[in-house]
Chains A and B, each alone.
Chain A
């Protein structure tokens, strides 16, 4: 059973370009979460999605960032007009959902390391 897949693993963009990060959840999982890890810091929550719905985007910057989780295909985190401060590791996690709160474990992907030149 494959784990959470993220691609690309490394992404280099110049300032002003768009970055598109993909996340395929584990089989049977319908909940996806995106976290950002700035250098030498812990992970910070960005957004929580279920299929075709954004449940909580309280951690996502209001401008340039967007996320989706379509009915078919992976979840996408899009960053428009990237700036140097967007350089970070972006982690996706998935969970099964539909279970009791205490047992809905999040499983993490290997991350995408974005470097903005």
Chain B
């Protein structure tokens, strides 16, 4: 079945450091790919998405490029802030599977001042 694998956390960084969170997927066909962010005590918020190969999603300084050849959708940010401390989830969705999202295990990021 479909699956998403993320790097395990926690990832601890200093402010203004570069952040990369790896995400790879296994799925047949052409899924849409998503990054969601969960701040402490809150629900998930959509951070960015890409619906086809080579698309780049971007939002709030975060970027991720849909790489079909490596089945990856790595999340990057050039300069993190303390407010970026959260849990980040990579997810996929396939039209053939209805509208349900398949999530990775999540990566906790802690940014220290």
**Which A residues form the contact surface with B (CB < 8 A)?**
3-4, 6, 31, 33, 35, 40-45, 48, 55-56, 59, 91, 93, 95, 101-102, 104-111
Q: Which residue of B lies closest to A43 (CB)?
A: B103
Q: How large is the interface on B (under 10, 10 to 19, 20 to 34, 35 or more residues)?
A: 20 to 34
Chain B residues with Cβ below 8 Å from A44 are: 103
Bound CA–CA A44/B44 (angstroms): 13
Bound CA–CA A40/B8 (angstroms): 11
Q: Which of A3, A33, A59 interacts with B99 by CB under 8 Å?
A: A33
Q: Which residue of A lies closest to B42 (CB)?
A: A110
* B26 is an interface residue with CB less than 8 A from chain A: no
Query: Given A41-B105, A101-B95, A110–B43 Cβ distance below 8 Å?
Result: yes
Bound CA–CA A95/B100 (angstroms): 11
* B24 is an interface residue with CB less than 8 A from chain A: no
Chain B residues with Cβ below 8 Å from A40 are: 105
Q: How far is the CB of A54 from chain B (nearest CB, A)?
A: 12
Q: Are A4 and B100 in contact (CB under 8 A)?
A: no
